[in-house]
Structure 1
Amino acid sequence: MEPGCTESASGLPLVSPQPLSPAAASSALLARLVDVGAQHSRATRAAFARLNARLSTSPRPAVGGRAVETDAGGERLPEDSVTAPTAGETYLRGDDGARLAVSCLTPLKGPAAVGPPVVLAHGWGGSRRVWGSVADGLIRSGHTVLSYDLRGHGASTVGDDGITAEAMRADLATVLRYAGGAAVVAGHSGGGFAALAQAVADDPGACPVGLVLVATAAHGQETSEKEARMMGAPLFSRTLRRGGPGRLLLRQMTGKALHPRLREVNRELFAAIRPEVRAECFRSSRGMDLREALAAVRVPVEVLAGGADKIIAPRLGRETADAFPRARFTSLPGAGHLLPLEHPRPVSRAIEEVTRQAGGRLAGRLPPDTGEALEPR
């Protein structure tokens, strides 16, 4: 089977007890699309669509930043009885009313999760779908994984505050509280900006216990107004919607080894974002420099960069790693910007290592402010 074309366990449809209205069923079906649906034949994709259409059910309503948990009879459980998110899909309500689409996958291996849960934050122009292979590896290794669509992406709405760095940080905090408040966060590109901002925020109830920063940086993201306007331009959007021209337009995002079908996945995701959302995302990182604050962040940290990344220069990743008291930096030769699609296994390994160390700290096996030294790769 070709690379990137294996069936992902994390792509199985998830079922909950209440049926959806036709409109909500359509929205839920789109939210459930993961890489398996895009990487098989047309007949297979049609079969997945029919199956999801029949099995789609209503996401649990969100109250106060987390979903309402119910027992088998549909009765709401008391707040203090909820200890972990339930496997499935839900919507959380952000601070400004944004609807955040969240998927929770539980371990395939054994009844108990290994270490703290993992929260995956994708980059601008993507969706939860980019984490398909990474999430699959993690749940096969015994981890609980939550992924969510950034505001204005996938099945998540923009909210009253619009697209700002602070709003995206607050959204991640909402997901972290839903995950139990102590989770490892893996952030890719713009999702990494949110992870870094949350790591230095004064927010004890939603503080990451470990960080995996993938093709991202803590500074140096001064997108020009000309480039931001291009992201929202009608001609750019029309080109994105066309297969070949759209893939050509985004060719600098990936390394040369990425399978053509995964290039198409990237184009589909980027084209699905509203032009004004794309433009505002690229404006939102102006003036960001978190390096000084990162000196106080004492959690396990891994920073990964693509050696051929033309979107966020690898040196910015190294400088971000250097800003932490302790972090390991890894450059993947020849890799581009889309590491979750291009090289999911190294990303999964980094998450597993940080989760192992974070779990040791939480269990008292490692001192909270030191831990194990991470040797450079």
Structure 2
Amino acid sequence: MPTIRVDGIDLAYEERGSGPPVLLISPAASRATLWELHQVPALLAAGHRVITFDNRGMAPSSCPPGPYRLADLVADAAGLIRALGHGPVTVVGASMGAMIGQELALAHPELVVSAALLGTRARADRFRTAMTEASAERVRQGAAANGVRHVAVSLMCQLFSPRSLADDATVADWLDVLTAFPITGEGAALQYEATLAGDRREALSGVTRPVLVVSFSDDLIMPPFLGREAAEAIPGARYAEVPGCGHFGFLERPEVVNRILVDFLARTATASARPTDAAGRP
């Protein structure tokens, strides 16, 4: 995986295909390889150039000292787009990656054609704040301190729907992955904490690019009511809700999510060709 220097840090990235560029931005404490099984093949098949990268704090990208602000992660994504020379891009983000995507569209509209936000929010309520703080504490302590299998089971309850947790094969596969490769470390903790960025609803009213918000019906981390709030804050944003899946709905029901994404990208593909003003507004 090559790296590129962006504002003093190295970002590991992959770039494949040709055509209109799509930048995939990962959830907190997740590697870019999360997109490889389902979303990368679907977007390549739809004729897109696909760019994935590991956010700061997730090796092999740089893991500079914290704290990390959401604005730092947005600046990293903007710097990567500029460094690769493929802007403007369509942004597809999940969870923390979706929060980065909506802020990128706000701060750097000239770099963004459109943004598809999978499991996002514009604020954290009390429970989501407590959940995020507890997640940061857990990964700092390390899985061994809390019991590797206990951590894996608890994490699965946050990430997946009851539908998936009732499927023995799915449970066995993810238990194997999460016990063999537990999420630990300061970088993951700092990414979790970066999502506690305050109430951004008023600020997001300044987004001028086409936006799609996709919520997942059983998502505990970014529940549909917070996704709808984000969509309502962004002028003209479309909203869709996928039933029967949790926070990682793009892995649980990829055929549904990919169809929604490809349709949205096709509808907004011509936006990059429209004349814009100095602020990047069409």
Does TM-score exceed 0.5, indicating one fold?
yes
| Aligned position for 1:359 | 269
Q: How far apart are residue 268 of structure 1 and its match? A: 6.2
Q: What CA distance in whole angstroms lies between the structure 2 residues aligned with 1:268 and 1:150?
A: 23
Q: Kindly report which structure 2 residues correspond to 1:39-78, keeping only aligned pairs within 5 A, or say none.
A: none
Asked whether the 8 Å contact 2:94–2:119 carries over to 1, the reply is yes
SS at match of 2:239: strand
Higher share of residues assigned strand: 2
> Tell me, which stretches of 5 or more residues in structure 2 are unaligned?
165-169
| Aligned position for 2:208 | 298
Question: TM-score of the superposition, structure 2-length normalised?
Answer: 0.83
Q: What CA distance in whole angstroms lies between the structure 2 residues aligned with 1:136 and 1:262?
A: 21
Q: How far apart are residue 362 of structure 1 and its match? A: 2.6
Q: What CA distance in whole angstroms lies between the structure 2 residues aligned with 1:281 and 1:354?
A: 28
Post-superposition Cα deviations, 1:44-73, rounded to whole Å, max 9, x if no partner, equal xxxxxxxxxxxxxxxxxxxxxxxxxxxxxx
Matched, 1:167 2:77: no
SS at match of 1:209: strand
The one-letter amino acid of 2:270's match is G
The one-letter amino acid of 2:254's match is P
| Aligned position for 1:141 | 46
Candidates 231, 238, 257, aligned match of 2:138: 231
Asked whether the 8 Å contact 1:210–1:358 carries over to 2, the reply is yes
| Aligned position for 1:151 | 56
The one-letter amino acid of 1:140's match is A
SS at match of 1:155: coil
Q: What CA distance in whole angstroms lies between the structure 2 residues aligned with 1:268 and 1:145?
A: 30
Candidates 34, 37, 45, aligned match of 1:130: 34
Q: How far apart are residue 261 of structure 1 and its match? A: 5.6
Q: How far apart are residue 145 of structure 1 and its match? A: 0.5
Post-superposition Cα deviations, 1:79-135, rounded to whole Å, max 9, x if no partner, equal xxxxxxxxxx4212121x22111011105xxxxx2xx31000010121111111111
Post-superposition Cα deviations, 1:244-279, rounded to whole Å, max 9, x if no partner, equal 4343121221113432365247626972441x2232
| Aligned position for 2:15 | 104
Higher share of residues assigned helix: 2
Asked whether the 8 Å contact 1:240–1:247 carries over to 2, the reply is no
Q: Kindly report which structure 2 residues correspond to 1:215-226, keeping only aligned pairs within 5 A, or say none.
A: 215-220=119-124, 223-224=129-130
Q: 1:179 to 1:351 in 2, by over 3 A?
A: farther
Matched, 1:197 2:108: no
| Aligned position for 1:338 | 248
Post-superposition Cα deviations, 1:250-309, rounded to whole Å, max 9, x if no partner, equal 1221113432365247626972441x2232223223342222232232322111111011
CA RMSD of aligned residues (A): 2.8
Q: What CA distance in whole angstroms lies between the structure 1 residues aligned with 2:140 and 2:65?
A: 23
Matched, 1:263 2:174: yes
| Aligned position for 2:113 | 209
Aligned residues: percent identity?
Answer: 26
Q: What CA distance in whole angstroms lies between the structure 1 residues aligned with 2:125 and 2:193?
A: 9
| Aligned position for 1:121 | 25
Q: Which structure is higher in RCO with an 8 Å CA cutoff and minimum separation 6?
A: 2
Asked whether the 8 Å contact 2:29–2:58 carries over to 1, the reply is yes
Post-superposition Cα deviations, 1:124-172, rounded to whole Å, max 9, x if no partner, equal 1211111111111110121110011111114211235653212211111
SS at match of 1:330: strand
Q: What CA distance in whole angstroms lies between the structure 1 residues aligned with 2:85 and 2:268?
A: 15
Count of residue pairs brought into register by the alignment? 267
Post-superposition Cα deviations, 1:297-338, rounded to whole Å, max 9, x if no partner, equal 232211111101111121000111111221221111121001
Question: TM-score of the superposition, structure 1-length normalised?
Answer: 0.64
Asked whether the 8 Å contact 1:130–1:340 carries over to 2, the reply is no
SS at match of 1:147: strand
Q: 1:211 to 1:140 in 2, by over 3 A?
A: same
Candidates 309, 323, 330, aligned match of 2:219: 309
SS at match of 1:138: helix
| Aligned position for 2:196 | 286
- Larger radius of gyration, structure 1 or 2? 1
Q: 1:227 to 1:120 in 2, by over 3 A?
A: same
